[in-house]
Amino acid sequence: MDPPVIDPVSEVGNSILQRRIIGLMAAGHRLITVRSPITRHVVHVAVMTPENASIIDRIPLWRAKRLIHAGAIVPDTGNLDSANELLLSRTANRDRFG
C-alpha cells in the first residue's frame, strides 16, 4: 500500500497561518530570508508587499521550515542556508489554481 500523499495547501495539513502565508504568496507577496548581521545565518523570514516592497510580517524560521518540509514553498537556491527568497512550489501553485 502506498503512503498517503500530503497536499501542501490542504485544509488539514497546514495551520490557518500557514494557509494565509501560501495565499499571500499566491497573491504576489514575497518571502525573503533575513540574516543575522553577525553570523550571516538565516534567523527568520519576512513577508514583503508586491507594491512597495515593505515588510508586513515576520515569520519564525521553524514555520518556514515546516512549509518547506510540506512542499508548499521552496528556497530559490534549493538550500535554505544560501537562499535569498522562498518561492511558492509548483505543486502548491498547481493544487491551488488548477
Q: Where are the domains of the chain?
A: 16-97
pLDDT at 25 over 70: yes
The pLDDT of residue 9: 44
Dihedral sign, Cα of residue 18, residue 19, residue 25, residue 29? negative
This prediction has a pTM of 0.75
State the chain's mean pLDDT as an integer.
82
Confidence of residue 30 (pLDDT cuts 50, 70, 90): very high
Confidence of residue 3 (pLDDT cuts 50, 70, 90): very low
The pLDDT of residue 12: 47
- Of the ranges 2-6, 13-17, 60-64, the best mean pLDDT one: 60-64
Provide CB contacts within 8 A for 37, sequence distance 6+: none
pLDDT at 61 over 80: yes
Q: Cα separations (Å) of 54 from 7, 32, 42?
A: 30, 11, 19
User: How many helices (H) and strands (E) in the chain?
Assistant: 3, 5
